[in-house]
């Protein structure tokens, strides 16, 4: 018998409590009042002693209760000969690592050879199962008795681009339910990467009784150079050189190494540079793309290395060259200050790709606003309800003109408030929700003085920023599929001095990106990450084939990117995205795990030596007996309740005590 | 009416006067069916006049009708004096049911006092434990009943019982012969109890002992060994059910019998009162004794 959590046996110390209460504490007996002891005589049989004897049964029950509780928590088990393998049968599990690092040299072929070798212990009557694992496990067969099927499954394993996780394969082995209660013999064939180890070692534990063998196909550390990262803009709007930054690293490299780094765009070599990678370090170098063609561009950074893992010598990225987006700013006739300030701010950041058109409210009524990703209303009103329901977004700067009208696009706007000369003199921004993209880079509008603000009705909306008196400064509301962002003051440098402050340009830029939907996720993804497919869309794989059928794409909220390369996403609104997917560069670090760590992992299948059991020995399997302990615990609890109730009732129901002194 | 004599019913009535009236009237209404009973001031017989007889006793109505002189004779022509000695020691506070011994003794005392008041007998009361706690001098004056009831009402469980001292003092109080009723649980040697009363008996008083005991005192019910506390002394003792069933029962029975026997030897009446029984049993016992004396 052993315990899976023997430290809970410390709870046995609690047995001292009832012993103290029952035996060591002075026993007190409630005397029964009686008229006179004239006719009583002291007798040798002590009532107290007698009662103590009676309470011994109760004491024993209480002690048993605590002991069983401690045992229950300690998870006891007994080692018994496995009933299912009377004929010596077993469940043979072969798990082969097919992660990205297995592309190095002949690792995959070696792993398959080891896996086939592991099948040598397969006997008639045994069950076998083959699993390929990286970040997740893929069951290639059911538990079968056909050796040829297992061999075919092993031979069919293809190396992938995922990152191996030993915690995941350990979880699969742990949760495996072998048929007929057979003992499990698991073989894990891997390259033993250090980066694949989980942070808590306990995640590697397999069930007691599982005979685990970890076969490493690598027995020494191998140097590896790789492109660790490439930083390139997702979109470019101007015909100018674009900077592309590449990071080249070396793992297990002990001497400085010079290597050639090449930038390619659409398969065409643009530039090559030499860089020296320091020992166990990384080097950074910049390229300048001369002029990318309009549309999607497939780029890659490549190094010339002589290591065994060539797949990580290339790092893909994508760049889209497109025209700047037009933004419409509508103002009242003759009041162009706000539009001028907004235009100047937005066009001062050309990398964001916006150009501003201005129009008066009368002119805007005749314009086709659908071509604009968003519209700015500078203290004026244009009927944009249909535009917003169709997905358009609007930024409103509300001043006295809107306050006089009472509402804008369904949001109530109350009278404008002026900071009184004899009171506050000006308002300042208070709480700012920096999680909101539009103000993420604008700070907290420090030192901005608001002299005139309107009172916004924040119901059904999100208050992004507040003034110090708690009134809303910036409110967002969703209308249809569009967004409405209302600023409680103007951009004209009269109602406030925001346009003169450093917060103005980031606010204008970020709110423009947010409202136009250009702040979406990056164009670079890692293998096994997910791309958002909410609202539908088509996804094409690196091989140019549909990764999902149309029905699947319509239902799937997200798609897992399983391969390196360029993926294309076609959104329902006509937008196309080119996504460059690269492998997790932790796979490029080929440093192997220490042999004793692997040995420790293998030993997790054996019983706890402290418990004195030998559950890990072949032919024996631990059987948990917590269920029986639980039943015994419940029985003890019931008996204890009966005893306690009985004694308690006796004390209370003594006839002589029914009436005491008046 | 009889059901009102049940001590449990009486305990729910507040006010001793009402209890006493309820008991006595209920009891008297029961007596109408028993003509054999009677007491001191009832008509006894006619006797022919003889020389020397007091002319005041001649029944002139009979003489007017028959021209013969007859004397009308009564039983107990004189009023007697009733003195009740009520034990208010701590042991009297014991009770295994709703009415404890002291309550029961209060009802009994109030009822006898009311009864004597109906007969125009003077009544008084002495409340004692090991000292005399309260004393109302016997008298037949108006308001005496209320004074006695007040004293009974005030009686609270005191300390130990000691018959010698209170009875010695009583001898000094009681100058006139009469009836002395002692209500107590008599946890004392019968010899001592009777000896303390004999002087008063020899002085010509009639003494009646009401030995008030709870049913649990006569036949205690103890299922398990227990620690028993003496309500008077505070002393504790561990007792066993076996002892209680056998020896205690024998001892208490012997005590009751010894008290009765020793009292009778000295011409003292002794009545055992069980506090679970209706009060009319006690009153009936008292009146039977009184009738026997007359």
**Assembly ipTM:** 0.76
A623-640: per-residue pLDDT in tens? 788 888 899 999 999 988
Query: Residue A32 is nearest to which of B100, B226, B240, comparing CB atoms?
Result: B226
Residues in chain A: 662
Distance between CA atoms of residues A464 and B45, nearest Å: 120
- Which of B191, B229, B235 is the best mutation test for A, with the most CBs of A within 10 A? B229
pLDDT value of residue A81: 56
> Which of A42-51, A414-423, A564-573, A601-610 reaches the highest mean pLDDT?
A564-573
A379-406: per-residue pLDDT in tens? 998 888 888 887 789 999 998 888 888 8
Min Cα distance B205 → chain A (Å) is 30
Distance between CA atoms of residues B105 and B92, nearest Å: 9
Q: Phi first, then psi: what are they for A221, rounded to 5°?
A: -75, 135
A580-603: per-residue pLDDT in tens? 999 998 999 888 888 888 888 888
Distance between CA atoms of residues B138 and B81, nearest Å: 7
* CB contact at 8 A, A248 and A227: yes
pLDDT value of residue A554: 78
Query: Residue A35 is nearest to which of B91, B225, B238, comparing CB atoms?
Result: B91
Min Cα distance A662 → chain B (Å) is 6
Residues of A with Cβ-Cβ distance to B239 under 8 angstroms: 40-43, 47
Using CA coordinates, name the residue in chain B closest to A43. Answer: B239
* CB contact at 8 A, A556 and A533: yes
Min Cα distance B33 → chain A (Å) is 37
pLDDT value of residue B254: 92
Average pLDDT over residues A161-186: 87
pLDDT value of residue A648: 64
Q: What is the dihedral of CA A504, A509, A514, A516, to 10 degrees?
A: 130
Q: Which residues of B fall below an 8 Å CB-CB distance to A?
A: 90-98, 100-103, 157, 185, 187, 214, 216-217, 220-233, 235-240, 243, 247-248, 251-252, 255
Q: Do A47 and B227 touch (CB under 8 A)?
A: yes
Average predicted confidence (pLDDT) for chain B: 79
Using CA coordinates, name the residue in chain B closest to A37. Answer: B230
Order of strands, edge to edge, in the sheet holding A137-139? A137-139, A127-133, A91-97, A184-190, A211-216
pLDDT value of residue A329: 93
Distance between CA atoms of residues A151 and B193, nearest Å: 113
DSSP string, A332-343: -TT--HHHHHHH
Distance between CA atoms of residues B141 and B81, nearest Å: 12
pLDDT band at residue A441 using 50, 70 and 90 as cut-offs:
confident
Cα-based angle A378, A384, A389 (whole degrees, multiple of 5)? 130
Q: What is the dihedral of CA A286, A292, A297, A302, to 10 degrees?
A: -30
Whether residue B32 is predicted with pLDDT greater than 70 in this model: the reply is no
To the nearest whole percent, how much of chain A has pLDDT over 90?
26
* CB contact at 8 A, A113 and A100: no
Q: Is B256 helix (H, G, I), strand (E, B) or coil?
A: helix
Q: Do B240 and A35 touch (CB under 8 A)?
A: no
* CB contact at 8 A, B30 and B280: yes
Nearest to A143 by CA among A130, A128, A125: A128
pLDDT value of residue B38: 36
Distance between CA atoms of residues B194 and A272, nearest Å: 136
Query: Residue A37 is nearest to which of B225, B235, B240, comparing CB atoms?
Result: B235
* CB contact at 8 A, A367 and A328: yes
Distance between CA atoms of residues A616 and A227, nearest Å: 45
Query: Residue B255 is nearest to which of A39, A40, A41, comparing CB atoms?
Result: A39
A234-284: per-residue pLDDT in tens? 888 776 778 889 999 988 888 888 899 999 988 889 889 999 988 888 899
Strand ranges (E), A349-495: 354-360, 374-378, 393-397, 407-408, 411-418, 429-432, 452-456, 462-467, 472-479, 482-487
Distance between CA atoms of residues A27 and A596, nearest Å: 59
pLDDT value of residue B6: 62
Residues of B with Cβ-Cβ distance to A48 under 8 angstroms: 227, 238
Residues of A with Cβ-Cβ distance to B92 under 8 angstroms: 35
What is the per-residue burial (b if ≥16 Cβ within 10 Å, else e) of A397-425? Answer: bbbbbbbeeeebbebebeebbebeeeeee
pLDDT value of residue B227: 80
Residues of B with Cβ-Cβ distance to A34 under 8 angstroms: 94, 217, 220, 228-231
- Helix or strand holding residue A525 (H, E): strand A524-526
Query: Residue A42 is nearest to which of B226, B232, B238, comparing CB atoms?
Result: B238
How far is the CA of A590 from the CAs of A103, A252, A277, in angstroms? 11, 8, 17
Pairing relationship of beta strands A354-360 and A462-467 according to DSSP bridges? unpaired
Q: Do A46 and B214 touch (CB under 8 A)?
A: no
Strand partners, A225: A250
To the nearest whole percent, how much of chain A has pLDDT over 70?
89
Residues of A with Cβ-Cβ distance to B94 under 8 angstroms: 33-35, 659, 661
* CB contact at 8 A, A433 and A389: no
Using CA coordinates, name the residue in chain A closest to B228. Answer: A32
Q: Do A659 and B100 touch (CB under 8 A)?
A: yes
Min Cα distance B227 → chain A (Å) is 5
pLDDT band at residue A442 using 50, 70 and 90 as cut-offs:
confident
Q: Do B216 and A655 touch (CB under 8 A)?
A: yes
Average pLDDT over residues B262-283: 84
A71-118: per-residue pLDDT in tens? 889 888 887 655 445 567 888 999 999 999 999 889 999 999 999 999
Distance between CA atoms of residues A372 and A357, nearest Å: 10
C-alpha distance across the termini of chain B, in Å: 28
pLDDT band at residue A611 using 50, 70 and 90 as cut-offs:
very low
Place of tokens 């490549």: A302
pLDDT band at residue A46 using 50, 70 and 90 as cut-offs:
low
pTM, 2 dp:
0.51
Min Cα distance B92 → chain A (Å) is 7
Nearest to B214 by CA among A271, A538, A660: A660
pLDDT band at residue A188 using 50, 70 and 90 as cut-offs:
very high
Residues of A with Cβ-Cβ distance to B235 under 8 angstroms: 37
* Interface contacts A/B by beta carbons within 8 Å: 125
Task: Work out whether the CA dihedral B43, B48, B51, B55 comes out positive or negative.
Answer: positive
pLDDT band at residue B290 using 50, 70 and 90 as cut-offs:
low
Residues of B with Cβ-Cβ distance to A31 under 8 angstroms: 226-229, 236
Average pLDDT over residues A460-471: 89
Alpha helix segments (H runs only) across B89-248: 101-118, 144-154, 164-173, 190-202, 215-218, 241-243
Q: Do B229 and A655 touch (CB under 8 A)?
A: no
* CB contact at 8 A, A100 and A584: yes
Average pLDDT over residues B26-44: 47
pLDDT value of residue A612: 41
Q: Do A35 and B185 touch (CB under 8 A)?
A: yes
To the nearest whole percent, how much of chain B has pLDDT over 70?
81
Average pLDDT over residues A205-232: 87
Distance between CA atoms of residues A231 and A93, nearest Å: 43
Distance between CA atoms of residues A64 and A19, nearest Å: 12
Query: Residue A35 is nearest to which of B187, B239, B251, comparing CB atoms?
Result: B187
For chain A, give percent helix, strand, coil, nearest 5: 30, 30, 40
Residues of A with Cβ-Cβ distance to B222 under 8 angstroms: 32, 654-656
Q: Do B239 and A31 touch (CB under 8 A)?
A: no
Query: Residue B96 is nearest to which of A48, A51, A659, comparing CB atoms?
Result: A659
Query: Residue A32 is nearest to which of B102, B229, B255, comparing CB atoms?
Result: B229
Distance between CA atoms of residues B237 and B219, nearest Å: 18
Going by the DSSP 8-state scheme, the letter that residue A446 receives in this structure is T
DSSP string, B102-137: HHHHHHHHHHHHHHHHHTT-EEEEEEESSSEEEEEE
A105-155: per-residue pLDDT in tens? 899 999 999 999 998 888 888 889 999 999 888 899 988 989 899 999 999
Average pLDDT over residues A461-468: 90
C-alpha distance across the termini of chain A, in Å: 62
B120-163: per-residue pLDDT in tens? 778 889 888 888 888 888 887 878 888 888 888 888 887 777 87
Q: Is A399 helix (H, G, I), strand (E, B) or coil?
A: coil
Min Cα distance A68 → chain B (Å) is 32
Whether residue A467 is predicted with pLDDT greater than 80 in this model: the reply is yes
Q: What is the dihedral of CA A14, A16, A22, A25, to 10 degrees?
A: -120
Min Cα distance A62 → chain B (Å) is 23
Q: Phi first, then psi: what are they for B262, rounded to 5°?
A: -70, -35
Using CA coordinates, name the residue in chain B closest to A647. Answer: B224
Nearest to A234 by CA among A440, A436, A567, A520: A520
pLDDT value of residue A607: 53
Residues of B with Cβ-Cβ distance to A33 under 8 angstroms: 94, 228-229, 231
Q: Do A662 and B95 touch (CB under 8 A)?
A: yes
A478-528: per-residue pLDDT in tens? 887 788 999 999 998 888 999 999 999 999 998 998 888 776 556 788 898
To the nearest whole percent, how much of chain B has pLDDT over 90?
8
Whether residue B282 is predicted with pLDDT greater than 70 in this model: the reply is yes
Going by the DSSP 8-state scheme, the letter that residue A502 receives in this structure is T
pLDDT band at residue B235 using 50, 70 and 90 as cut-offs:
confident
Query: Residue A662 is nearest to which of B102, B187, B240, comparing CB atoms?
Result: B102
Average pLDDT over residues B43-53: 81
- Which of A40, A649, A651, A658 is the best mutation test for B, with the most CBs of B within 10 A? A40
pLDDT value of residue A370: 85
Strand partners, A325: A354
């Amino acid at each position: 018998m052993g315990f899976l959590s023997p430290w809970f046996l410390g709870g046995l110390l609690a047995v001292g409590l009832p012993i103290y209460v029952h035996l060591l504490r002075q026993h007190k007996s409630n005397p029964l009042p009686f008229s006179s002891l004239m006719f009583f005589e002291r007798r040798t049989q002590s009532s107290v002693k007698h009662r103590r004897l009676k309470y011994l049964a109760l004491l024993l029950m209480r002690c048993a209760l605590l002991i069983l509780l401690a045992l229950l928590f300690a998870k006891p088990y007994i080692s018994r000969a496995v009933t299912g393998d009377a004929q010596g049968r077993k469940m043979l599990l072969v798990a082969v690592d097919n992660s990205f690092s297995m592309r190095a040299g002949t690792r995959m072929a070696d792993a398959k050879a080891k896996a086939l070798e592991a099948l040598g212990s397969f006997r008639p009557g045994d069950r076998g199962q083959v699993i390929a694992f990286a970040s997740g496990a893929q069951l290639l067969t059911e538990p079968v008795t056909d050796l040829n099927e297992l061999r075919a499954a092993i031979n069919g394993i293809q190396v992938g681009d995922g990152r191996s996780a030993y915690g995941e394969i350990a979880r699969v082995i742990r949760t495996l339910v072998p048929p007929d209660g057979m003992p499990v013999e698991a073989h894990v064939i891997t390259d033993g990467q250090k980066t694949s180890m989980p942070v808590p070692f306990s995640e590697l534990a397999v069930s007691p009784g599982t005979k685990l063998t970890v076969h490493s196909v690598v027995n020494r550390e191998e140097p590896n150079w790789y492109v660790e990262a490439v930083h390139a803009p997702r979109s470019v709007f101007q015909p100018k050189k674009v900077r592309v930054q590449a990071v080249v690293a070396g793992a297990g490299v002990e001497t400085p190494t010079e290597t050639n780094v090449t930038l390619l765009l659409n398969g065409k070599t643009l530039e090559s540079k030499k860089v020296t990678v320091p020992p166990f370090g990384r080097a950074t170098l910049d390229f300048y793309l001369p002029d990318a063609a309009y549309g999607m561009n497939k780029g890659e950074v490549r190094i010339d290395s002589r290591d065994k893992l060539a797949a990580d010598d290339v790092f893909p990225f994508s760049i889209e060259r497109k025209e700047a987006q037009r933004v419409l700013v509508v103002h009242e006739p003759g009041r162009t200050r706000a539009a001028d300030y907004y235009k100047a701010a937005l066009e001062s950041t050309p990398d964001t790709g916006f150009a501003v058109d201005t129009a008066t409210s009368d002119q805007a009524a005749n314009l086709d606003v659908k071509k604009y990703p968003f519209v700015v209303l500078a203290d004026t009103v244009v009927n944009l309800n249909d535009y917003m329901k169709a997905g358009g977004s609007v930024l409103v700067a509300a001043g006295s003109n809107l306050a006089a009208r009472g509402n804008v696009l369904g949001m109530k706007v109350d009278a404008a408030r002026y900071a009184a000369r004899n009171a506050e003199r000006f308002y300042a921004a208070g709480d700012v929700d920096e999680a909101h993209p539009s103000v993420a880079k604008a700070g907290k509008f420090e030192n901005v003085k608001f002299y005139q603000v309107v009172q916004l009705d924040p119901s059904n909306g999100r208050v992004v920023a507040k003034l110090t008196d708690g009134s809303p400064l910036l409110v967002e509301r969703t209308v249809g599929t569009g967004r409405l962002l209302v600023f409680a003051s103007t951009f004209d440098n009269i109602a406030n001095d925001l346009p003169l402050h450093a917060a103005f340009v980031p606010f204008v830029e970020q709110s423009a990106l947010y409202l136009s939907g250009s702040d979406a996720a990056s164009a670079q993804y890692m293998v096994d990450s997910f791309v958002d497919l909410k609202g539908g869309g088509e996804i094409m794989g690196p091989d140019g084939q549909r990764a999902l059928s149309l029905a699947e794409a319509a239902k799937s909220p997200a798609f897992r990117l399983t391969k390196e390369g360029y993926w294309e996403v076609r959104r329902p609104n006509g937008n196309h995205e080119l996504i460059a997917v690269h492998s997790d560069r932790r796979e490029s670090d080929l440093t192997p795990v220490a042999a004793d760590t692997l040995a420790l992992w293998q030993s997790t299948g054996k019983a706890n030596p402290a418990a004195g059991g030998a559950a890990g020995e072949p032919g024996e399997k631990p059987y948990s007996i917590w269920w029986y302990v639980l039943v015994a615990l419940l029985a003890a609890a019931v008996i204890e309740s009966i005893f306690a109730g009985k004694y308690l009732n006796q004390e209370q129901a003594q006839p002589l005590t029914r009436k005491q002194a008046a | 009416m009889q059901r009102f004599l049940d001590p449990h019913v009486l305990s729910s009535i507040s006010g001793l006067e009402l209890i006493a009236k309820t008991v006595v009237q209920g009891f008297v209404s029961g007596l109408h069916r028993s003509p054999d009973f009677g007491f001191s001031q009832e008509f006894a017989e006619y006797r022919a006049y003889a020389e020397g007889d007091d002319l005041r006793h001649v029944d002139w109505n009979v003489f007017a009708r028959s021209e013969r002189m007859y004397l009308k004779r009564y039983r107990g022509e004189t009023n007697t004096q009733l003195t009740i000695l009520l034990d208010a020691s701590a042991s009297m506070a014991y009770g295994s049911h709703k009415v404890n011994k002291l309550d029961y003794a209060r009802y009994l005392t109030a009822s006898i006092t009311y009864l004597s008041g109906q007969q125009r007998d003077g009544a008084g009361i002495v409340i004692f434990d090991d000292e005399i706690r309260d004393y109302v001098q016997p008298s037949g004056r108006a308001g005496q009943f209320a004074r006695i009831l007040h004293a009974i009402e005030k009686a609270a469980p005191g300390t130990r019982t000691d018959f010698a001292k209170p009875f010695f003092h009583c001898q000094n109080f009681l100058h006139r012969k009469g009836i002395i009723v002692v209500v107590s649980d008599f946890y004392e040697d019968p010899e001592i109890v009777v000896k303390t009363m004999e002087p008063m008996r020899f002085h010509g008083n009639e003494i009646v002992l009401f030995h008030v005991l709870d049913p649990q005192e006569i036949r205690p019910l103890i299922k398990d060994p227990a620690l028993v506390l003496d309500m008077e002394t505070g002393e504790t003792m561990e007792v066993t059910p076996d002892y209680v069933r056998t020896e205690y029962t024998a001892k208490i029975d012997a005590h009751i019998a010894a008290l009765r026997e020793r009292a009778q030897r000295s011409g003292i009446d002794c009545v055992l009162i069980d506090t679970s029984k209706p009060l009319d049993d006690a009153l009936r016992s008292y009146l039977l004794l009184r009738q026997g004396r007359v």
